[in-house]
Amino acid sequence: MVLLYHRPSGQTHMVISPVPEILAALKDSAPASAQILYERLSRLYDLGPADTALAEIEGHLVNMTALGLIRTAA
Amino acid sequence: MKHRITLSIGPATFRIGSAWPDPIRELKHLYADYPAPADDFADFTVRLEPAGALRRWLRPSIFITGDHGLADAAPMSLPHGLLAAEMGMNLQMALGWRRHLLLHASSVEKNGRVLVMTGESGSGKSTLAAQLGERGWRLMGDEFALLDLATGVVLPFPRLVSLKNRAIGVMAAEVPAERMGPLMAGTAKGDIRHMVPRAEAVARMDEGASPALLLFPRFGHAPDIRSVGHGETFMRLTQASTNYVALGEPGFTALTRFVKTVPAKAIDFPSGNEAIAMVERLWEQRA
């Protein structure tokens, strides 16, 4: 489990795998699509079938956007 | 106000005013050996006022107010005035303190390391701290532990120990009568009696120390000890803190450091004596 302090809202988030891994894959880099994140993550982890993993990453990105942890690039 | 006293407890100074002499007289008596405040500047003001125009004399009824108050707090009877003053001070700390992360927890110190105990009202944390304070530990506080945001040190807040119901008899049996306050029967929390901490706890009330063990005690259950993971510990401590949200990122940083560095255990115990034995054993075994 990973704790995140969200500066804009002052809220604390408790997140579990794969959210910390997705955030790490986004860290210090230009905006990335779900496809690019899948490629980055699949180099580090065994993600199983590509279409299932990609759908899962997309789902997490939607939820993380709703929480304000990430935003869609303009 | 007509009757007043200024008290310093740990890092906080309170100015307490009362429409009646009795609560102030009792405070003066029980806090007699506390060091006098360095100056007249107080962090907080507590006022014990009549609940209505005639209530100073007629069935005297105390309304607790001050810098921070609860609008719908029930008035208290004059014989419970000492409790009203203590509740007023707690209320100021819980609602207004910002210099440390405030944890609703008791704490005791031995050899420069602190044992912190947190739990619901009735969990036994207060009584356990009071008992350890008479058995070679320094009582740092029975109600609030103050976590320094920069250093992670726990600072004492050794106000009077508030003993409830069965704990009153337990402590009265081992503490000299002059350290016990008046018995206040039939309060909203049952019977309450205050106890003055040992002289050493008061003399060293500015002296913090690093936390070494966190316990979640639970009185009235078969003996059991289990480790508590980081996630659960963090959740329970945010619930036990009154100012975690208000402190923002420094509070988050201080609390995550505490959770990462201090081992946490939940302990169930059927009696005070068994609890003390369990605590001493865990303290010896701590990594």
Q: Domain containing B264: what range?
A: 100-285
- Are B117 and B58 in the same domain? no
Give pLDDT, residue B216. Answer: 98
Radius of gyration of chain A measured on its C-alpha atoms = 12
Token duo for residue B228: 């508590």
- With cut-offs at 50, 70 and 90, classify the pLDDT of residue B72: confident
Contact criterion met (CB below 8 Å) for B171 and B22 = no
Per residue in B26-36, pLDDT tens?
A: 999 999 999 99
- Are B10 and B142 in the same domain? no
- Are B24 and B85 in the same domain? yes
Give pLDDT, residue B51. Answer: 85
pLDDT at B287 exceeding the cut of 70: no
Distance from CA of B247 to the nearest CA of A (A): 9
pLDDT at B40 exceeding the cut of 90: no
- Are B212 and B224 in the same domain? yes
Residue A22 lies in a domain: yes
Spatial CB neighbours of B283, under 8 Å, sequence gap ≥ 6? B110, B115, B213
Per residue in B136-146, pLDDT tens?
A: 999 999 999 99
Strands B3-9 and B12-18: antiparallel
Distance from CA of A9 to the nearest CA of B (A): 9
Give pLDDT, residue B260. Answer: 96
Residue A1 lies in a domain: no
pLDDT at B125 exceeding the cut of 90: yes
Domain count, chain A: 1
pLDDT at B71 exceeding the cut of 80: no
The yes/no answer to whether this complex scores an ipTM above 0.90 is no
Q: How confident is the prediction for chain B on average, in pLDDT?
A: 95
The string of DSSP letters for B214-275 reads EEEEEETS--EEEE--HHHHHHHHHHHBSSHHHH-HHHHHHHHHHHHHS-EEEEEESSHHHH
Distance from CA of B120 to the nearest CA of A (A): 23
Q: How confident is the prediction for chain A on average, in pLDDT?
A: 92
Mean pLDDT of B217-235: 95
Contact criterion met (CB below 8 Å) for A12 and A4 = yes
Highest mean pLDDT out of A25-34, A49-58, B119-128: A49-58
Q: Cβ–Cβ of A12/B238 closer than 8 Å?
A: yes
- Are B69 and B108 in the same domain? no
Residue A8 lies in a domain: no
From the number of C-beta atoms within 10 Å of its C-beta (0-12, 13-18, 19+), residue B56 rates as middle
Give pLDDT, residue B270. Answer: 94
Residues B56, B19, B82, CA angle at the centre, nearest 5°? 100
- Are B125 and B245 in the same domain? yes
pLDDT at B262 exceeding the cut of 70: yes
pLDDT at B245 exceeding the cut of 70: yes
pLDDT at B173 exceeding the cut of 90: yes
pLDDT at B96 exceeding the cut of 90: yes
Mean pLDDT of B66-85: 90
Residue A2 lies in a domain: no
Residue A54 lies in a domain: yes
Out of B234, B238, B245, name the one closest to residue A10 (CB).
Answer: B245
- Are B105 and B86 in the same domain? no
Residue A50 lies in a domain: yes
Q: Domain containing A41: what range?
A: 17-74
- Are B246 and B135 in the same domain? yes
| pTM reported for the whole predicted model | 0.90
Per residue in A13-26, pLDDT tens?
A: 999 999 999 999 99
CA distances from B224 to A51, B141, B154, B208, B227 (A): 47, 25, 27, 30, 10
Out of B231, B248, B252, name the one closest to residue A1 (CB).
Answer: B231
pLDDT at B39 exceeding the cut of 90: no
Domain count, chain B: 2
Compute the distance between CA of residue B136 and CA of residue B249 in angstroms, rounded to an integer: 37
Residue of B nearest to A15 (CA): B231
